[in-house]
Amino acid sequence: MASEFESPGGNILKTALEKQPVLVLGVEPRISVPIARSLHRHHIPVMVAALSAQEPRISSRAITHFVRLPSYCETPDHFVDALSSLIHESNVDMLIPATDAALSAISSHYNHLSELTHVACPPPLVVDRVLNKQTTLEIAQRCGIRVPGEYLISEAANLEEIADSLSFPVVAKPRSKGSQELFKVRYFHSREKLGDAVQSGELSGAILQEYCPGAGIGIEILIHRGKQIAAFQHRRLKENPHTGGVAVLALSEPLNQELVEKAHDLLREIEWDGAAMVEFRWNPADGQAALMEINGRYWGTLSLPIQAGIDFPFYQWQLAHDETPQVPSSYVVGMRWRWDAGYIRRVRGILPASLKLNASSLRRDLMSSAMDFLPPVRDALWSLADPWPAIWEAGRAVKNVFASDAASVAKRLLPARLRDPFRSYSKPEEHEGSVGIASKKEK
């Protein structure tokens, strides 16, 4: 029996050649690779394009070509020219953003790109309602959805004005999502540490939100012309950082119809069309849910719904090609999912704190980690037929953790003249600035 990633032959090859390629813009392996695999299973060619030299090269049997475009941030005109040429020369008939930076880049050139190919996101006015977190929260309030209390931090004086009304811990987030983000989310447990960050300018223009206790619940929805086509729900079991962040261990759950209705109402008010994840923080103590954010593109746990039976990328491709998706009436509930690279960074993050005398909960967390790597927990990227993406990303995470630790030790113990090798080793990997198409067989 042929594996799902073997090259098709005979009539299947003819069918594959009749389908035009899809271009996934932006490199985030746990998102880009599942999109590619989803479409590849249906014999749809998939290319992946990086927006800058900082994004890593990825290789998968589901990816026909990898392309590195000119930097969108540094040379936007060259970027859109190269992207346009790629779409035209490769006969691309669908463009899918895999990161917020890609979503922002497509939105900035939406009218032009939508004339060349089908763009898998709404027009700029709608996209901005999702990328701008303040706008998202304002619309949510109009829909009667609870949102965290928030403040806009501009300078230290502004912090003094609101300090008495703050209840710690507090959460700092960028005002807008996209390529210019300096950080994703930061937590502050004291006024002193928050003040230091504000004074240094690290949080300039950030939104400061109240901390909402509870579990992170993701409601994933595919909407087409206002109609809900498919829905899925997952709960975050472990995050990186452990105080709250991206999911590294998640669980598929039955749909909470109240949350699904809130998510659908919100996306409909925003006039969203396509795939999105609405994230809530649900507090089991009082049964209340607060909106955290909306991901207006495919999310980090995408491979979980696909493995559980809800194939969002293929359904979206079908809708773009005037086909009717056959969405199952149910999916596998109770499936556990793990993202190795994020999990490795999480363990490294909590290891020092777990050695403190009052950190028994963190020690229990570490002791349970071994169970998270045993069946039946599903891996975000691992496939026996296509093992390289999982091996490469986990290895890169281990290397970066080791390099960071080595540099930290060197800084403390070695004379200045002996630190340079460690500094260069610990720098983020640099990538070639190639704009041409690279075969998936190239390393």
Q: How far apart are CA 269 and CA 224, in angstroms?
A: 14
Q: For 417-433, how does the pLDDT look when each residue is reduced to its tens digit (9 = 90+)?
A: 655 555 555 554 444 43
Domain end call among 210, 226, 249: 210
Q: Using omega within 30 degrees of 0 as the cis cutoff, is the peptide bond preceding 169 cis?
A: yes
**What CATH number does the domain containing 59 carry?**
3.40.50.20
Is 16 in the same domain as 57?
A: yes
* pLDDT tens digit sequence for 61-77: 999 999 999 999 899 99
Q: How many CA atoms lie within 13 A of 221 on its CB side?
A: 26
Distance of CA 9 to the CA centre of its chain: 34
pLDDT attached to residue 63? 98
Which of 325, 309, 149 has the alpha carbon at shortest distance from 222? 325
Q: What is the pLDDT of residue 170?
A: 83
Classify residue 290: in a domain, yes or no.
Answer: no
pLDDT of residue 147: 92
Q: How confident is the model at residue 264 (pLDDT cuts 50, 70, 90)?
A: very high
User: Is 202 contained in some domain?
Assistant: yes
If asked whether residues 100 and 165 sit together in one domain, one would say no
pLDDT at 24 over 60: yes
**Confidence (pLDDT) at 10:** 41
> What pLDDT score does 182 carry?
56
Considering 49-53, 311-315, 346-350, 409-413, the range whose residues carry the highest mean pLDDT is 311-315
Q: Which of 169, 186, 210 is the last residue of a domain?
A: 210
Instruction: Indicate if 98 and 38 belong to the same structural domain.
Output: yes
46-50 and 227-240 beta bridge pairing: unpaired
Average pLDDT over residues 126-143: 94
Specify whether 104 is located in the same domain as 195. no
Q: Would you state the structure tokens that stand for residue 334, as one six-digit string?
A: 């109770």
Ramachandran bin of 208, using left for φ above 0, alpha for ψ from -120 to 50, beta for the remaining angles: beta
Both 79 and 182 in a single domain?
no
Has residue 121 been placed in a domain? yes
For range 147-173, the mean pLDDT? 72
Report the half-sphere exposure of 357 (CA within 13 A, side-chain side).
0
Q: pLDDT at residue 139 above 90?
A: yes
User: Could you give the number of structural domains in the chain?
Assistant: 2
pLDDT at 45 over 90: yes
Same domain, 89 and 187: no
Does residue 436 fall inside a structural domain?
no
pLDDT digits (tens, 9 = 90+) for 309-325: 999 999 999 999 999 99
Q: Is residue 162 part of a domain?
A: yes
Claim to verify: residue 52 and residue 94 sit in the same structural domain: yes
- In terms of C-beta density within 10 A (0-12 exposed, 13-18 middle, 19 or more buried), how is residue 96 classed? buried
In this structure, how many other beta carbons lie within 10 angstroms of the beta carbon of residue 257?
Answer: 9
23 plus 114 within the same structural domain: yes
Dist CA 183 CA 440 (whole Å): 31
Mean pLDDT, the chain, rounded, equals: 86
In a domain, 53, yes or no: yes
Cα–Cα distance measured from residue 425 to residue 407, given in angstroms and rounded to the nearest whole number:
8
Whether residues 119 and 153 fall in one domain: no
Q: Which residue has the higher pLDDT, 282 or 206?
A: 282
The verdict on 157 and 68 lying in the same domain is no
Residues 121 and 206 both lie in one domain = no
- 64 contacts 45 by C-beta, under 8 angstroms: yes
Domain extent for 193: 149-210
Q: Residue 183: which CATH number?
A: 3.30.1490.20
Q: Residue 442 — very low, low, confident or very high, per pLDDT cuts 50/70/90?
A: very low
List pLDDT tens digits, range 174-202: 777 765 555 667 888 788 888 788 777 77
Task: Look at residue 201 in the predicted model and tell me its pLDDT.
Answer: 75
Q: Establish if 386 belongs to a structural domain.
A: no
Contact 332, 247 (CB under 8 A): no
Q: Which pLDDT belongs to residue 416?
A: 62
Name the pTM for this structure.
Answer: 0.85
Centre a 10 Å sphere on the Cβ of residue 234 and count the other Cβ atoms it contains: 23
Residues 28 and 83 occupy one common structural domain: yes
Query: Residue 231 pLDDT > 90, yes or no?
Result: yes
Instruction: Tell whether 339 is covered by a domain.
Output: no
Mark which of 62, 93, 125 sits at the end of a domain: 125
